Structure 1
Amino acid sequence: SGVVARLRHDGYPVIAAANPLRGLDSDAAYVSSLLDSVSGPVVLVGHSYGGEVITNAAVGHANVRALVYIAAFAPDQGESGLALVGLNPGSRLGEALVVRPYAVAGGGGADGYVDPAKFRTVMAADLRGSDTELLAAQQRPVDLAALQAPSGVPAWKTIPSWYLVAGADRAIPAATEKFMARRAGARTVVVDGASHLVMLSHPGRVENLIVQADEATD
């Protein structure tokens, strides 16, 4: 909300896509359909797993001028989020994961939550404990199958990219974020000491990078 408020204050229309978190292909198709409904130029921003989604959703959309990754996965073709988590040491996500099966009409799956007792350590060490307790209770889980799914041809190969590295990230190691940013040729900033939820702890830094991407591709 802090990033959205700053962007709106600076005159940007903002759509915070309701990422379904059910499967990489279906999530990317959902965001792709949303892009179809936008007539003007788009700066597409993704955080965490959302980076996988924008990497796939932006393919074939000429109106997407820039991709902005915020402590996010930027996979190459065939890579999955879970594989990238283990690329370098430093992630504590695996030890904090709580798996809960779910059922829906016609099927179901297994959702991954971050253990509320470990949420602040893994996700938000630079936020107040009282805030992280609320965030832990309200977290939206992602189907583990989405994190295991191989990514398609990446949009960052043809669309200019920007990357914000969270320097103290314990979900996706900062070393992995830097690797993905370099590989994508992204213009990169590092926020030292920032947790995985850097958009909450440093909304100004996140907004600045989005504005840079817009101004550079205007």
Structure 2
Amino acid sequence: MTTQQPPTVVLVHGAFADAGSWAGVVTELQDHGVAVVAPPNPLRGLAADSAYIASAVSRIDGPVVLVGHSYGGALITVAGTAENVVGLVYVAAYVLEEGESLGELQGRFPLSPLVSNLDESTYPVPGAEPAVEVTIKAEAFPEIFAADVAESVTKVLAVAQRPLAAGAFTETAAAAAWKTKPSWALVAGADQAINPDVERFGAERAGATVVEADGASHAVAVSRPKAVAQLILDAVHATR
């Protein structure tokens, strides 16, 4: 799909992070004159979060290239069905099929070290029983999430994690926008949070244009913002 108006890039962060994780990528895109929005991801569940992102997209006048990191990839898969979304970019991300959950996709491959290094806690839900949320154990965070990021940075990221509702792993995707929208994907070759084969399988199944970042951790947007921004720029240029 092509359009005369330049797309706005919407960056969707994943679990255990916030929109600040896109800082380096935002700077690169802005330096290239690209309009960027990095909304907060509620991290409360696949249906609710994708609806929130879709609402953020709907407020943008003109075409959108929707970018998702990690769990954010599952969200753009659903929210990307919005009419003004013209392209999808997956960054070290889950690329779900319609009717598939994160757990089902992960279950096709050996589990990453992340799974055995999660801490569980509960949070209040009005009118219901408390729900479970997860974070990465602080001592394991640097190696699992950001092994190629400076220790001074990972120490901060580890204690500033935003937890993900555990129920997000079992909810299924209501749609798969990649069936009707062009997609691009970056596979983080040394990812310890998502098995790179999970990223690769989903991207190839979606027919995405795939680039491999050899040796990159899950936090590739932090450690290699230029490479991530370049893939997004490729999508922007292809969808104009």
The code of the aligned residue for 2:227 comes to: R
Q: Residue in 2 aligned with 1:154? A: 176
Q: Give the AA of the match of 1:109.
A: A
Q: Out of 16, 31, 39, which is 2:61 matched to?
A: 39
Identify the match of residue 218 of structure 2 among 192, 196, 214.
Answer: 196
Tell me the equivalent position of 2:42: 20
Aligned amino acid, residue 122 of structure 1 = I
Give the counterpart letter for 2:66 in structure 1: L
Question: Structure 2: which amino acid aligns with 1:15?
Answer: V
In structure 1, stretches of 5+ residues that fail to align are none
The reply on whether 1:138 has 2:160 as its aligned counterpart is yes
Runs of 4+ in 1 over 3 A off after TM superposition: none
Aligned to 1:112: 134
What is the TM-score normalised by the length of structure 2? Answer: 0.87
> How far off its partner does 1:104 sit?
3.7
| Structure-1-length-normalised TM-score | 0.96
Q: How many residues align?
A: 217
Out of 89, 97, 108, the position equivalent to 1:76 is 97
The separation in 2 between residues aligned to 1:25 and 1:19, in whole angstroms, is: 12
Q: Which residue of 2 aligns with 1:66?
A: 87
Are positions 1:209 and 2:231 aligned together?
Answer: yes
Structure 2: segments with no counterpart, 5+ residues: 1-22
State the identity %.
46
CA contact (8 A) 1:85 1:171 kept: no
Other-structure match for 2:24:
2
The Cα offsets for residues 74-105 of structure 1, whole Å up to 9 and x where unpaired, read as 10022111232332225111111101111143
Distance in 2, matches of 1:209 and 1:150, equals 27
- Comparing 76-85 and 14-23, the one that deviates more: 76-85
Which residue of structure 2 aligns with residue 56 of structure 1?
78
**C-alpha distance in 2 between matches for 1:159 and 1:132:** 35
Cα separation, 2, equivalents of 1:147 and 1:57: 17
